[in-house]
């Protein structure tokens, strides 16, 4: 015994005074009519079966009972390896562990890990987190996995996923010149692998080894005009030379006046609006951050809602599809409309948010915190998070009306 480690020497005299086996003994062991044993040392012996198969086994006692551990066939397991495995089993016994049970547990774990593929773990990770995501975001993440991950490494057990496997997968995204997406897929895989580590199905987060491995790219922003270009946009919307549907024009105006996200507007239903209280309550399940959002309604937005009510009634979606009334307007309608108005690649639906943020702060002199809350951004500092999100509601209500009035003033001068 040395430092608590229990070891048996390779050369030892087995019970009965016989010398320990040599490799030559093992090689020349011939089958007989009945199986027989060639003893080595420390309970290790070679079981020579009538079929000619030779198997290493270890006889030991655990909790007062005699037990048997099958180590493996000779020559697959050499004499030296069999003795090493015997010593490991003896060390387990010294620590109060049954080596046969330990072997069964290891096999069961290996079988389980073999079924825990990247796809299985990723889908479980997605299901665990989707209740905290907006439905559209959850769908987007699942689509990203199905397109960029599952076809290439989806069936790889996550426990054996290597850096090279992951890099090859992400390089396929880079091959399509989707450099931004490649970085996003790597980030997503980091979250999935860390989930696997936490749940005991991976040893470590291998994505850290890919730092600097992907091609660099210049991160862009959603296209948006600035405050000086706003009068021209208002003029283009009012003139409507592109002959857009009336509901599309109303949608553009509502994007400008409320600066919500495109998905939040097109999926809005009439039951979310309280015209009397001049408030639009977007439920948490439709918000990116899964927090209920309040949008104060200006008189101008209420007038637009009345127009929509005359067009389609006050049930279901406020902006139904022009072709299927039970479905919302397409997510690309706003972007295509801006393109037809002459703002291809210079303005997007998301751009209305950036435009409102900069213009309201610059022209109407509102504090960043007030505009930021109206944009439904998650507070970043611990101090901000300590405050209720509705803290600035009175200021936001005043701001939204002033913003709508400011837009009307620009229309007159456009």
Question: Of 176, 325, 367, 387, which one is the catalytic site residue?
Answer: 387
Is residue 377 among the annotated active site residues? yes
SS3 327: coil
Cβ atoms of residues 259 and 374 within 8 Å: yes
The H or E element spanning position 255 is helix 246-258
The radius of gyration computed from the CA coordinates of the chain, to the nearest angstrom, equals: 35
Alpha-carbon distances of 21 from 25, 45, 83, 118, rounded to whole Å: 6, 9, 11, 46
Question: Of 261, 286, 293, 373, which one is the catalytic site residue?
Answer: 261
Angle, alpha carbons 340-344-347 (nearest 5°)? 105
Question: Of 253, 286, 350, 396, which one is the catalytic site residue?
Answer: 350
Is residue 387 among the annotated active site residues? yes
Tell me phi and psi for residue 293, to 5 degrees.
Answer: -120, 135
Question: Of 54, 353, 373, 396, which one is the catalytic site residue?
Answer: 353
Cβ atoms of residues 173 and 181 within 8 Å: yes
**Burial track 110-146 (b if 16+ CB lie within 10 A, e otherwise):** eeebeebbbbbbbbbbbeeeeeebbebbbeebbeebe
Q: Please, where are the H alpha helices in 29-162?
A: 79-94, 99-115, 118-129, 135-148, 150-153
Question: Of 288, 309, 340, 363, which one is the catalytic site residue?
Answer: 288
CA 108 distance to own-chain centroid: 28
Question: Of 278, 361, 377, 398, which one is the catalytic site residue?
Answer: 377
Is residue 350 among the annotated active site residues? yes
Is residue 176 among the annotated active site residues? no
- Which residues are catalytic, by number? 261, 288, 350, 353, 377, 387
């Amino acid at each position: 015994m040395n430092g608590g480690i229990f070891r048996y020497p390779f050369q030892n005299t087995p019970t009965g005074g016989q010398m320990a086996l040599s490799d030559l003994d093992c090689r020349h062991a011939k089958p007989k009519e009945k199986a027989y044993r060639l003893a080595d040392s420390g309970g290790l012996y070679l079981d020579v079966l009538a079929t000619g198969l030779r198997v290493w086994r270890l006889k030991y006692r655990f909790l007062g009972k005699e037990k048997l551990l099958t180590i493996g066939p000779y020559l697959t397991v050499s004499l030296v390896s069999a003795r090493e495995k015997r010593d490991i089993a003896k060390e387990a016994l010294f620590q109060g562990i049954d080596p046969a049970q330990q072997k069964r547990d290891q096999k069961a774990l290996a079988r389980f890990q073999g079924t825990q593929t990247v796809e299985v773990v990723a889908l479980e990770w997605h299901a665990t987190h989707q209740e905290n995501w907006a439905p559209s975001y959850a769908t987007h993440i699942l689509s990203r996995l199905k397109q960029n991950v599952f076809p290439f490494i989806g069936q790889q057990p996550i426990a054996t996923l290597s850096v090279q496997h992951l890099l090859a997968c992400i390089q396929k995204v880079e091959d399509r010149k989707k450099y931004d997406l490649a970085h996003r897929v790597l980030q997503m895989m980091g979250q999935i692998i860390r989930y696997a580590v936490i749940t005991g199905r991976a040893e470590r987060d291998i994505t850290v080894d890919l730092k600097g491995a992907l091609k660099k790219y210049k991160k862009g922003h959603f296209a948006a005009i600035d405050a000086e270009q706003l009068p021209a946009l208002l003029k283009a919307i009012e003139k409507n030379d592109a002959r857009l549907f009336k509901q599309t024009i109303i949608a553009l105006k509502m994007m400008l006046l409320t600066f919500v996200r495109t998905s939040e507007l097109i999926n809005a239903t009439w039951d979310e609006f309280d015209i009397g209280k001049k408030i639009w309550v977007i439920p948490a399940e439709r918000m990116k951050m899964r927090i209920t959002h309040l949008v104060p309604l200006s008189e101008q937005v209420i007038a637009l809602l009345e127009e929509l009510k005359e067009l389609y009634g006050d049930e279901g979606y406020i902006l139904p599809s022009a072709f299927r009334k039970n479905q919302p307007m397409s997510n690309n309608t706003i972007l295509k409309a801006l393109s037809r108005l002459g703002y291809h690649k210079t303005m997007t639906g998301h751009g209305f948010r950036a435009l409102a943020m900069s213009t309201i702060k610059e022209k109407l002199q509102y504090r960043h915190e007030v505009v930021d809350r109206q944009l439904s951004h998650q507070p970043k500092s611990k101090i901000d998070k300590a405050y209720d999100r509705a803290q600035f509601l009175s200021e936001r209500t005043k701001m939204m009306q002033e913003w709508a009035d400011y837009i009307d003033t620009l229309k007159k001068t456009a």
